[in-house]
């Protein structure tokens, strides 16, 4: 499995950065504890690095290649086995290197907050809009948070997963990626390194000099979020493998996680909690036999009309309009 993933569509990677990778296999080893098999997508992973992977963290104790050879570092497109995590991560979860244990705990706390609020929103049928808020001074930050509370609606909750004073950093961008948040800055700027990561990870950063403009944009996002919810979601799936990709059509292997998928359904593609594109189901197969429907728990083949590039681990949300 690791080698198959490594041979998939290549990444434009920079080895001179902290690593970002994806879990392709994992297990609990009775001798060494949690073990994860990763594909490094960008940067370089080093022994001793502090990392966050999904909902767990750790410090890398061991790196091995696919032949069992010990490594001190692992670069882009390198499939490796690692130990040192606190718990077994799940397939498709993203690994990111962080500066220290404190940062790891902060990232996990923000993620836990986002997950908790998402569960609460499910209970009360409320939609979440996660943001990271950065301002020039504490007075501005307080004015923003006070105004944001006033524009929340019964249907949409604005979840501030992180707030702070000062320019936008790499850590802010990585937290936005982990939690699916957008970064809003007031009279601040992103560091060049933060801009580079945001562009690569498709994290949106918006900068404002006037509070009114920021609040007006947030109101528009609330309205847009409500409009997106005016559809009937019928199923959810995860991409396991890319078989064929053209500019307008993709054929993938996938698993139905919830509900069911039918030929003709519309689909949104989500990566790291953010929507990256839309498409339509053209055909379905189970073991090379054409079918009109695939239900939860089943594996199958899927032909999509979609223009964005797909990746293993992308989440597919199927709906009817």
> Is 103's pLDDT higher than 50?
yes
The answer to whether 253 and 311 are in contact (CB under 8 A) is no
Local confidence band at 121 (pLDDT 50, 70, 90 cut-offs)? very low
According to CATH, the topology of domain 2-98 is Elongation Factor Tu (Ef-tu); domain 3 (2.40.30)
Q: For residue 251, what pLDDT is reported?
A: 93
104-116: average pLDDT: 76
Lowest mean pLDDT among 62-71, 85-94, 126-135, 309-318: 126-135
Q: For residue 13, what pLDDT is reported?
A: 56
121-128: average pLDDT: 48
Residue intervals in the chain for CATH 2.40.30.10: 2-98, 232-320
Range among 7-11, 103-107, 314-318 with highest mean pLDDT value? 314-318
> Is 3's pLDDT higher than 90?
no
Residue intervals in the chain for CATH 3.40.50.10050: 103-228
> Is 15's pLDDT higher than 50?
yes
> Is 206's pLDDT higher than 90?
yes
Local confidence band at 170 (pLDDT 50, 70, 90 cut-offs)? confident
109-124: average pLDDT: 59
Q: For residue 119, what pLDDT is reported?
A: 52
84-101: average pLDDT: 89
> pTM (2 decimals)?
0.44
Burial-class residue 320 by CB neighbours within 10 Å (0-12, 13-18, 19+): exposed
> Could you give the CA distance from residue 198 to residue 200 in angstroms, rounded to a whole number?
5
Local confidence band at 275 (pLDDT 50, 70, 90 cut-offs)? confident
CATH superfamily of the 232-320 domain: Translation factors (2.40.30.10)
Lowest mean pLDDT among 57-61, 243-247, 250-254, 290-294: 243-247
pLDDT in tens, 215-270: 999 988 887 776 665 567 899 999 999 998 888 889 999 999 999 999 999 999 99
Per cent of the chain over pLDDT 70 is: 88
Q: For residue 257, what pLDDT is reported?
A: 93
Average pLDDT of every residue of the chain = 85
Q: For residue 116, what pLDDT is reported?
A: 60
Tokens 């297990």: give the residue. 27
Q: For residue 298, what pLDDT is reported?
A: 93
Radius of gyration of the chain (CA): 20
Q: For residue 228, what pLDDT is reported?
A: 60
Q: For residue 154, what pLDDT is reported?
A: 64
CATH superfamily of the 103-228 domain: Translation initiation factor IF- 2, domain 3 (3.40.50.10050)
**Residue 158 or 13, more confident:** 158
Q: Which residues have a Cβ under 8 Å from the Cβ of 314 and sit 6 or more positions away?
A: 238, 239, 269, 270, 271, 276
283-310: average pLDDT: 92
> Which of 7, 80, 3, 14 is CA-nearest to residue 47?
80
The answer to whether 18 and 43 are in contact (CB under 8 A) is yes
């Amino acid at each position: 499995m690791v080698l198959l993933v490594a041979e998939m569509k290549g990444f434009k990677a920079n080895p001179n950065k902290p690593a970002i990778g994806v879990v392709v296999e994992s297990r609990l080893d009775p001798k060494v504890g949690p073990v994860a098999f990763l594909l490094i997508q960008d940067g370089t992973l080093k022994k001793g690095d502090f990392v966050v992977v999904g909902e767990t963290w750790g410090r890398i104790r061991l790196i091995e290649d696919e032949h069992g050879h010990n490594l001190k570092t692992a670069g882009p497109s390198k499939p490796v086995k690692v130990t040192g995590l606190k718990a077994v991560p799940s397939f498709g979860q993203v690994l990111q290197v962080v500066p220290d244990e404190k940062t790891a705990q902060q990232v996990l706390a923000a993620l836990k907050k986002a997950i908790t609020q998402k569960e609460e929103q499910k209970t009360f049928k409320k939609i979440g809009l996660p943001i990271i808020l950065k301002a020039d001074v504490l007075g501005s930050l307080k004015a923003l948070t006070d105004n944001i509370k006033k524009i929340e609606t019964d249907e949409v909750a604005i979840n501030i997963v992180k707030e702070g004073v000062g320019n936008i950093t790499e850590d802010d961008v990585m937290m936005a990626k982990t939690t699916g948040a957008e970064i809003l800055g007031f009279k601040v700027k992103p560091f060049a390194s933060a801009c580079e990561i945001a562009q690569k990870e498709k994290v949106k950063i918006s900068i404002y000099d006037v509070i009114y403009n920021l609040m007006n944009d947030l109101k528009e996002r609330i309205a847009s979020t409500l409009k997106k919810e005016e559809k009937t979601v019928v199923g959810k799936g995860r991409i396991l493998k890319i078989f064929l990709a053209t500019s307008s059509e993709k054929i993938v292997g996938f698993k139905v996680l919830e509900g069911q998928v039918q030929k003709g359904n519309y689909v949104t593609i989500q990566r790291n909690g953010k929507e990256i594109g839309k498409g339509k189901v053209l055909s379905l197969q189970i073991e090379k036999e054409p079918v009109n429907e695939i239900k939860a728990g089943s594996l199958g083949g899927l032909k999509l009309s979609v223009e964005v590039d797909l990746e293993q681990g992308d989440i597919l949300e199927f709906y009817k309009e």
